Each structure stands twice: as structure tokens, then as C-alpha cells.
Structure 1
Amino acid sequence: MAQQYASEQPQGLKNHIEKVAIVGAGGTIGKVITEQLLNLGKHTITALTRADSPNKLPPGIEIKIIDYAYQASLVSALQGQDALIITMGTRAPPEHQTKLIEAAATANVPWVLPNEWGYDNSNPNLREYNSLVRDKKAAYRAHIEELAKSSWIGVTCGFWYEFSLSFGPSTYGFDFANRTVTFFDDGNTRINTSTWIQCGRCVAQLLALKILPDDADDQSPCLARYRNQCVYVSSFNLSQRDMLGSIMRVTGTTLDDWKIVFEASTSRYETGLEAMQKGDMMGFVRMMYTRNFFPDGCGEFEKTRGLLNGVLGLPREDLDACTRAAVEMAKVPKVS
């Protein structure tokens, strides 16, 4: 697509996104994104939700009930929207995202942020290893482009820091209850990881950018520069050893209080794969997380992709404060 400029558009054509629809506004990341959009105050927010959804939606947004069995309900809910944000849990039927993408095209929604949150799934090396998700997200992007009505922007933020640190040994290797940590290889491999709120800020600030550059001389940030691309943001670039250092500061513990176990990342990946193939989905979690800690640098995407933090004005976060939140989250029993 040839570069367009605002100065060449018809008189009165708006150059900013005003109306944003979001699916999953009551979910974990969807709620945070919605709250950050509301805090910024530059958009009208509409939540698309099923009638039987148990999630409580944030105040200050319009609510439209949809039924995935009736495509017309999706199209109707998306009429007049400038952007669609899709946030869905891992158990959501994959065809739901396809239906939303097709409804956005029918309703002529210009921008779609697909369910992209997480590791760098545009990296072919990660897609090759993570066979359960191999090319699925790429297929959603391709479908948006094939329909030729919307443009997509993928948000790559790495794994969520507080959630991953608090979840247990299958993710970042930490077992708070038993004060044990499994270091993958030597524990020095660095990755990019983000907090929920940083991801929410990213989306809010991204959608607040003007759509087109004013003219050929305008080099300021705008959505058109990220059309059909992934953008990369991060809260922290750190290793497991850095995480442990923060945990010890927060909890007042020392190395003597922790048991450290070492495991080769390739072996951990293979055992996770074997467990997954036997029906243990925690095996998939171990496999997916461990792959990002391979020493090939796939998990440290800021070195190869660069970060949009500065362009979006994202703040520098306090590592220990975020670690403290993870320590508190770890005390809450996990719901199976």
C-alpha cells in the first residue's frame, strides 16, 4: 500500500481513532487494557460480551451483547468502530477469533489488534518449536490481510512478569512456598518481560497516535507506520538470577535461604514436550516458557526487534515493586 498523508485526505476525515471495541474487557489483560484506555480518556470504549459471561466489566463503557452462533450480532456490534481489540483466554474456541476478524471486515473496522499478547510469535524459530501454536497466530494475521478491509497490529510484550513469577516452577522456575528455584542452564539468559499494566498502557498510547502522517515531511509516530506489523514493548530485560535478586530484596532472604537447582534448557523443553503429548498441559507451559530461555536470544527481543517504549512514552517501572506484587499473588491459591 502506497503511503498516504492526512493532507491528501478529504476535508473533515478524522485522523485519530475515536471508537474502540474490545472483546474480553472483563478478563485479566482485557480489564487492564480497558482501564488504561479509560484513564487516557481519548476513546469511547465498547465491550463486546456474551450474555452468559460471568466477568464483571469496568464502569464507564458501553456494553453490547454478542452471540458467536449469529455472525450478524458481531457485525452489528462492530458497526462504526474504529478499532477492535481481541483478548481471549487460552480455552476460548479458536473459531471465535476468526468470526470476530470476519465481522470486523464486514463492518469495515479499519484496525484490529488480534489476540497476540505474549512472546514473540512472529519469530519463526519460536513458532518452529512451539508446535501447539505454530503459525496459528500468523494465520489470523494473514486472514485479516486477505479480507483486505482491516489492518492489524500485534503487541509483543513477552510473558507477563507478575503472573509468570507467581505461577510456580513451570514458568519462571520459582517455587515460593518451598524457596526453590530451577535455573535453566546457568540462570543468566536474559529475556524481555512485561507487567499487565505496561501492556495496557502500550495499547492505550498506541491507539492514541494519529493514523496518518500529516505530509511527506512528517516523521512523527503514527499508526500507519505499524500497519500489519508487530510492535514490541517491555517492562524489564532480566535473567532468572536478576529475578532471584529482586525476590531476596523483597522477602528479606539470602542465598542461604534458597535451594537452587540447575536444569539444561533443552532437556527441560523435551520433558515438557513429552508431558504435553501425554495430555499434561502443564508440560506445554514448561515447554513454551523454557524455549524463551534458550541461549539463542529469542526471548530477548529488544536486541533484535527494538522497543516502542520511548515512542509511546511508557514509564520505567520499579522491579522490586512488581516482584512484591508477584510474591503476594503467589499466596493466593490457583484455580484449576
Structure 2
Amino acid sequence: MASKSNYIQNVTLIGGSGSIGSHILTHLLTNPNQKITVLTRSTSTATFPPSPNLLIKKVDYTNEQDLISALQGTHFLIITLSARAPPTLHPTIVRAAGKAKIPYIMPNHYGFGLGARAGGLANEPTLAAFKTYIADVEREEEMSYVVLVCSFWYEFSLGMGEEWFGFDIPGRRVVFYDEGVQRVCTTTWERCGRAVAGLLGLPVEREGQRGEVGYVLSDFKNKGVYVKSFLVSQREMLDSLHRVLGTADADWQIEYQGSGERHAQGLEEWGRGEAKGFAKAMYARVFFESGEGDYATGGEMHDGVLGLPSEDLDEATRRAVGMVEGGFGVKKQLE
């Protein structure tokens, strides 16, 4: 740490106007003792909330020296990138962060468990990018990663379309994986933002006796911070939609498809260059009855450590419905 303080003081965020990045920024700005820098492309027209603790820097991501200069003095770097970002961008940022001597980085890994807690998902081809993000950091000396393990984003996944959580909300149609009762972890964007802010509000190192109670940031060096909003099945999601929309099963077209069959189908479509096949395969795999989509049962969770409140499923569903009614969905996202 460049600072003598035992708390993170200088945070840099890449992707602060994006879906998860904007929520992270909102909650980081609630800490008056932190200076937040948001890096944006030199051509970006994104706007950000006014705050005396917020600095916006426009950078040329193809110019390493420009990037290194913008990252100087950062204690913790958060990377949030679009799925459409070029694959060279993440390693470029991490290399520049290494040269800027940044001690902590949250890579663009917002997904599933690490190591043994990944289970069979560790070898899933649609999730392979997560491993490369961590490998980017591991190649840098004197830099530690902290991964936010949050699984699929709830509102996004419910609203995007049938290839994601299985729901076509405007068309009142759902495809249940197997019987639709397999529960998986899922997290709202709001909770992700709160989690990152809570994490960066912890002391960096444990002061006093080694046995002192309480978590510190360094406890999460090269590990995951595990959070979730809900452990929920597709059946429970549909019941929530009924409560929000005032519908019943009779108002929906309900279909069933084996998760294994759907996974194979998605991989085949992805291999043909169909973008939706990627989502179909990835989501179907997480809903396998082998249960890897549930990292909460039997595993340590950190929601309480970070002071995260409980959430209401129907409220989150209502937000997803509002997004869809506002035009959100696969067609818009893939344009």
C-alpha cells in the first residue's frame, strides 16, 4: 500500500457506466473517505453522478503509457468490461496495473466459485474466460486478485430472453430446464454494488493480535468473496412473475427441455457463430442437477461480513419486468 492508512483510499473503476459498474460506483460514492477514479475511453460520452470524491479520466486503452499514468496511485482497481470488449483489453489493463504497482485488483470475473467450489463448471467452455481473467493477474508480481462470486445477475438473466433463465416475458413463455426445480444462486446488480463497497470498507490488514475477530481485505487475497441475493429455481421465478404480473400458469406457455440436451444444443449453435447459443449453453450447464449452480449450500458466504441486507424476490422480479417493458432484452443487447 502506498498509503499508511489501513484502509483503501484510492479506488479506480473501469466500466463505471455499465450495468454492474454503475451500481458499484453508486455504492462506492457513499464512502466519504475514498477517492474514486473512473476511467473511460477518450471517445466516451458517458455521464456520471456529481461528487467531490469522483474523478473522471479519459484514456486511450491502446496507449500503455497513458493507461499506466492514469492508474498511478491506485490502491484497488476494479475492472468491469462488456462481453463485447476485445479479448486483448483485459490483459492490457492488468499489465498496465502491474507497472503502476497496484496491489489489489478485482478482475472482470463476476460468476461462479473458485477451485473446489467451481466443481464441474471449472471445465465448462462457456465459462473459460473467467480463468483467463485470473491468469492475467497471476502473471503479475506483487499483485493480488479478489473475485466477486455472484453468479448470474438476476434482473439481467430474467429479462434477457429464453436462452438465459428460460423466460420470454413479453411472449409469456418459459422453457424449464429438466423439471424447473433446480435451485441456483443469483445476485442483483444492487447487491453486487453493495458488496464491493462493503469489501473496500474493510481494514486492509488485521491489526493487533492475530486472533482478533473480524474480516479484513487481505483475508480475501487471491480468493473469492461469495455473495447471493437468492437461491431460486425457475419454478419459483415463474411464481414470482405471477405475483408481479397477476398471471397464472394457464396464461403462460410452459415447455420442458433436459438441461444436458439444451447445453449440447447451445454449444452446437455457438459453434456455428450464433451468439445466443453461448448463453443457452452456459445457463443450461449451471442448471444441471449435479448442483454446481448452488455455491451457497454447504459453503461459506460473506453477505453478513459485508453488511448486506436481505432482498425481496418479487421486488427484483418487478425491476426485471420494468426493464423488459422499457425495451430491454436480447434483441436490443445483441444489436
Q: Residue 161 in 1 paired to residue 182 in 2?
A: no
Tell me, in whole angstroms, the C-alpha distance in 2 between the residues paired with 1:132 and 1:327.
27
Match of 1:3?
none
What does 1:178-193 align with in structure 2 at a 5 Å threshold? 178-193=171-186
Given candidates 100, 116, 120, the residue that maps to 1:125 is 120
Bigger Cα displacement from structure 2, 142-151 vs 77-86: 142-151
Tell me, in whole angstroms, the C-alpha distance in 1 between the residues paired with 2:320 and 2:306.
25
Given candidates 21, 25, 30, the residue that maps to 1:39 is 30
Contact 2:109 2:133 in 1 (8 A): no
TM-superposition CA deviations, 1:29-56 (whole Å, max 9, x none): 1111001101233311001111112322
TM-superposition CA deviations, 1:198-244 (whole Å, max 9, x none): 00000000011001111312131101111001111000011011101
Tell me, in whole angstroms, the C-alpha distance in 1 between the residues paired with 2:61 and 2:323.
33
Given candidates 311, 317, 321, the residue that maps to 2:315 is 321
Tell me, in whole angstroms, the C-alpha distance in 2 between the residues paired with 1:68 and 1:114.
16
Contact 1:120 1:299 in 2 (8 A): no
Q: Residue 67 in 1 paired to residue 70 in 2?
A: no
Tell me, in whole angstroms, the C-alpha distance in 2 between the residues paired with 1:164 and 1:83.
28
Structure 1 unmatched ranges of 5 or more: 1-8
Match of 1:293?
287
Tell me, in whole angstroms, the C-alpha distance in 1 between the residues paired with 2:197 and 2:190.
11
C-alpha root-mean-square deviation of aligned residues, in Å? 1.8
TM-superposition CA deviations, 1:125-182 (whole Å, max 9, x none): 21312x1442x43233233233222111000111111111111111111111221111
User: Residues 186 and 132 from structure 1, CA distance in 2 versus in 1: closer, same or farther, beyond 3 angstroms?
Assistant: closer
Bigger Cα displacement from structure 2, 210-219 vs 261-270: 210-219
Q: Residue 58 in 1 paired to residue 53 in 2?
A: no
Given candidates 120, 130, 145, the residue that maps to 2:138 is 145
Contact 2:240 2:317 in 1 (8 A): yes
TM-score with structure 1 length normalisation? Answer: 0.92
What does 1:1-336 align with in structure 2 at a 5 Å threshold? 13-60=4-51, 61-120=54-113, 123=118, 125-129=120-124, 131-134=125-128, 136-215=129-208, 216-333=210-327, 334=329, 335=332, 336=335
Tell me, in whole angstroms, the C-alpha distance in 2 between the residues paired with 1:167 and 1:75.
36
Tell me, in whole angstroms, the C-alpha distance in 2 between the residues paired with 1:109 and 1:58.
26
Counterpart amino acid of 2:246? G
Contact 1:34 1:58 in 2 (8 A): no
Counterpart amino acid of 2:143? S
Contact 1:26 1:58 in 2 (8 A): no
TM-score with structure 2 length normalisation? Answer: 0.93
Alignment length, in residue pairs? 325
Tell me, in whole angstroms, the C-alpha distance in 2 between the residues paired with 1:143 and 1:161.
27
Counterpart amino acid of 1:259? Q
> What secondary structure sits across from 1:22 in the alignment?
strand
Q: Shift in Å at residue 115 of structure 1?
A: 0.3
Bigger Cα displacement from structure 2, 17-26 vs 116-125: 116-125
Tell me, in whole angstroms, the C-alpha distance in 2 between the residues paired with 1:263 and 1:133.
22
User: Residues 149 and 161 from structure 1, CA distance in 2 versus in 1: closer, same or farther, beyond 3 angstroms?
Assistant: same
Q: Shift in Å at residue 304 of structure 1?
A: 4.5
Bigger Cα displacement from structure 2, 303-312 vs 17-26: 303-312
Bigger Cα displacement from structure 2, 190-199 vs 57-66: 57-66
Identity score, percent: 39
Bigger Cα displacement from structure 2, 75-84 vs 171-180: 171-180
Contact 2:204 2:216 in 1 (8 A): yes
Contact 2:126 2:281 in 1 (8 A): no
Bigger Cα displacement from structure 2, 114-123 vs 46-55: 114-123
TM-superposition CA deviations, 1:42-86 (whole Å, max 9, x none): 311001111112322332210112112211111111111111000
Structure 2 unmatched ranges of 5 or more: none
